[in-house]
Amino acid sequence: MISNESLASEILGHGAYLCVRRSGNGDVRRAGAARISTLAARLQLRNEFDPGTPPSRDSIALLRRRDATKGDVTDDDLLQAEWVIHVASKREGAVGEFCGEASRLLEPVARVRVLSGVVRPKNYTGAAMNNWAYANQVTQQPGGAMPNAFLFPLSKTADWWRKDWMERHTYFLPRYDDHGQMTSEGHALAAAAGIPHLLRRTYKSLTEPAPVGQYDFVSYFECSDADVPMFHQVCAALRDVKRNPEWRFVREGPIWHGRRVASWEELFS
């Protein structure tokens, strides 16, 4: 029997996106002023706007809304979020403390929905896929160079999770007929154009599938202004089920598009 016990169970890191929208007439800027930055400094979180080389795995990012598009899943907290705060750390406690404290500060004046997950080793990536899909990917750049941020959570259907991991694995590679003719590109090849242009990061739910009301995967992308059409082109390629049959099993959340900013003050300017 093919068992899910073979899947990677190690946790390499933790992360969360706090989706914030005003409630009432309270002053959101003042509610978090200085205190969110002090909290980030105390937890030793580096601002991703200036990521350093290599980028820190203990970090915070501030994102200001540009627009958002509906997905298959109704999620007004993300769709209407005016600001998104990202926090990441190898330390589970640091992410928990940041989310708890930032939510407590903002909750009198804002609605805060937390989308969180964990980083695990990749399941479907051997050495060659790693060299192809990850070794040449763009690393995180300063906010001025790649100002666009896209938060794109999704879940997969019960039919997906009923498949064993070996069958799920096949959806990430091209498929060929008996004559060696490619019949579909699969996830990785369909999305290939994005590798050198899109920074990508995916948090997984602690359990797969995720509990009701949460996403199986919370993916996030960054790119330059010139590469925004490339992000949409890659999404369109993944959605084309002739090219990528995996997407038959995907239920998309909203796609939230924001701009990376350097400071709490700039978030509201």
Q: Which residues bind ligand HEM (CB under 6 A)?
A: 122-125, 129, 133, 152, 154, 172, 187-188, 191-192, 194-195, 198, 200, 202, 217, 219, 234-235, 238
**Nearest of 140, 114, 265 to residue 203 by alpha carbon:** 114
Contact present, 187 and 162 (Cβ < 8 Å): no
**Nearest distance in Å: CB 128, ligand HEM:** 11
**Nearest distance in Å: CB 67, ligand HEM:** 17
Q: Which residue lies nearer to ligand HEM by CB, 113 or 122?
A: 122
**Nearest distance in Å: CB 197, ligand HEM:** 8
**Nearest distance in Å: CB 151, ligand HEM:** 10
Contact present, 151 and 218 (Cβ < 8 Å): yes
Q: Which residue lies nearer to ligand HEM by CB, 130 or 263?
A: 130
Alpha helices in the chain (DSSP H): 28-32, 35-42, 76-79, 92-106, 127-129, 158-162, 165-170, 186-190, 228-239, 264-267
Amino acid identity of residue 12, one-letter, is L
Contact present, 267 and 83 (Cβ < 8 Å): yes
Q: Which residue lies nearer to ligand HEM by CB, 50 or 164?
A: 164
d(CA 59, CA 88): 5
The count of C-alpha atoms lying within 13 angstroms of the C-alpha of 212, restricted to the half-sphere facing its C-beta, is: 0
Q: Which residue lies nearer to ligand HEM by CB, 98 or 221?
A: 221
**Which residues, other chains included, contact 28 with Cβ-Cβ below 8 Å and sequence gap of 6+?**
20, 22, 82, 83, 106, 109, 110, 268
Q: Which residue lies nearer to ligand HEM by CB, 203 or 264?
A: 203
**Residue number with the shortest CB distance to ligand HEM?**
194
Q: Which residue lies nearer to ligand HEM by CB, 56 or 205?
A: 205
**Nearest distance in Å: CB 60, ligand HEM:** 22
Q: Which residue lies nearer to ligand HEM by CB, 45 or 133?
A: 133
**Nearest distance in Å: CB 223, ligand HEM:** 10
- Dig out the tokens for 257 from the structure: 């598009």
Q: Whose structure tokens read 């706007």?
A: 49
**Nearest distance in Å: CB 260, ligand HEM:** 18
